[in-house]
Amino acid sequence: MDIGASRLANVELGQIRAVAEKARNLEKQGKSVIHLEMGEPDFSTPKHIVQATQQALERGEVHYAPTRGLLQLREDISRKLKDDNNINSDPETDIIVTAGASQALLLAFLGHCNPGDEVLIIEPAYIFYRQLARMTGAVPITIPTSQENNWVVDPNEIEKALTPHTKMILINSPNNPTGAVYPKEVQERIAEIAIQHDLLVVSDEIYEKIIYQEKGHFSIASIPGMEKRTITINGYSKAYAMTGWRLGYIVSSNDLMIPMLKVQQYSVTCIPTFTQFGASEAINGDQQCINDMVDAYRRRRDIVHKGLLSIDEITCALPEGAFYAFPNITKFGLTSKEFAEKVLNEAGVALVPGSVFSDVGEGFVRLSFAASEKALMEAIERMKICLENLVRK
């Protein structure tokens, strides 16, 4: 008996969670480990969001929701999109509430990719993009970025990669794993390319609230001509520390939404009803919780960036968004996997090899600064001692 569908043959299991599992196993053996591998806020969900959800449970909001999500929440999302992103959306037809941004990505790929379609992925990139393309039979195409350009894509690289099979461009700003934020003018050029060549753009904006530059976030769907060819993905995990809630949403024109609605209907049917009341409260409630978390992330970023640069042989671009640093470790003469394993085994600091995020990430590691200042300072000191010994050798 053949085991497994052939379309999954080239789909890899997640390597970030493999790092986390190895780190936990070391802890079980009595080793002290500082976890900087997972992209998860160390904050708890704000109390007013939890309370709204508890109240919904107490009211008996435990029955099926519409497949697209509660209309109340879709209306809230629509207002938020207009106010924050300058995106116009019809809450009746243009929004689906999803099980996190990850499931929203699945809807986009299953809803719009055919076998042989080429998906342009700006890399290093979140590992889901390449694997989801493979899952649908599409072909992931690397668009490289560089530390020298602060990991911001050069749109000319996108244009050079176009073929008659190109279907979709995927962008992620603020970016995981590099912390890059794409300027408005760069996104405007990407929009020109998409319009000229009749391409879809999937914009993963899950980190939009975690940004450190004054210009703030810009959504490509707000550019004239992009509203009917952009699929915007967002959610609550990062901005509101709601990772375990699995709440996200996908936004597009109704024509693009119908195929994705089919996937939603025949997979999860709908998202748990009572949690959607918590999502409404997240949008409508006091936003100071976001400001407080971003202020904390900014302090942590500065600690990590300064600390990394204090280690001989390491260079690192300053992250402008998200909560990741992506230091260059090539001068140590190790692969990114070898480096991460050495630092974990000898220093007790869990990092993710940059190669996990594509070949472009080889020679780098990802460090999440969604941890306490104390833990981050201790991690830097442990790494410094470990790596000084390596340099002496």
Same domain, residue pair 179 and 197: yes
Q: Which of 260, 284, 308 is the last residue of a domain?
A: 284
pLDDT at 10: 84
325 and 387 share a domain? yes
318 in the same domain as 299 = yes
Statement: residue 9 has pLDDT above 90: no
249 with 310, same domain: the answer is no
Digit-coded pLDDT (tens) for 119-152 = 999 999 999 999 999 999 999 999 999 999 999 9
200 and 312 housed in the same domain? no
Q: What is the CATH classification number for the domain harbouring 316?
A: 3.90.1150.10
Q: Residue 264 phi/psi, 5° resolution?
A: -60, -45
| Mean pLDDT computed over 195-205 | 98
Could you tell me if residue 247 is inside a domain? yes
Question: What is the C-alpha to C-alpha distance for residues 116 and 79, in angstroms, rounded to an integer?
Answer: 37
238 and 338, same domain (yes or no): no
Q: Is residue 1 part of a domain?
A: no
Residue 13 pLDDT class (50, 70, 90 cuts): confident
What is the CA 86 to chain-centroid distance, rounded?
21
pTM (two decimals): 0.94
List 98's β-bridge partners, or say none: 248
Q: Which domain holds residue 331?
A: 6-44+288-392
Sheet of 352-353: strand order equals 324-325, 365-368, 352-353
**For the chain, what is the radius of gyration of the CA atoms?**
21
For β-strands 34-35 and 349-350, DSSP reports them as parallel
Say if residues 120 and 168 touch (Cβ distance below 8 Å): yes
Mean pLDDT in residue range 194-221: 96
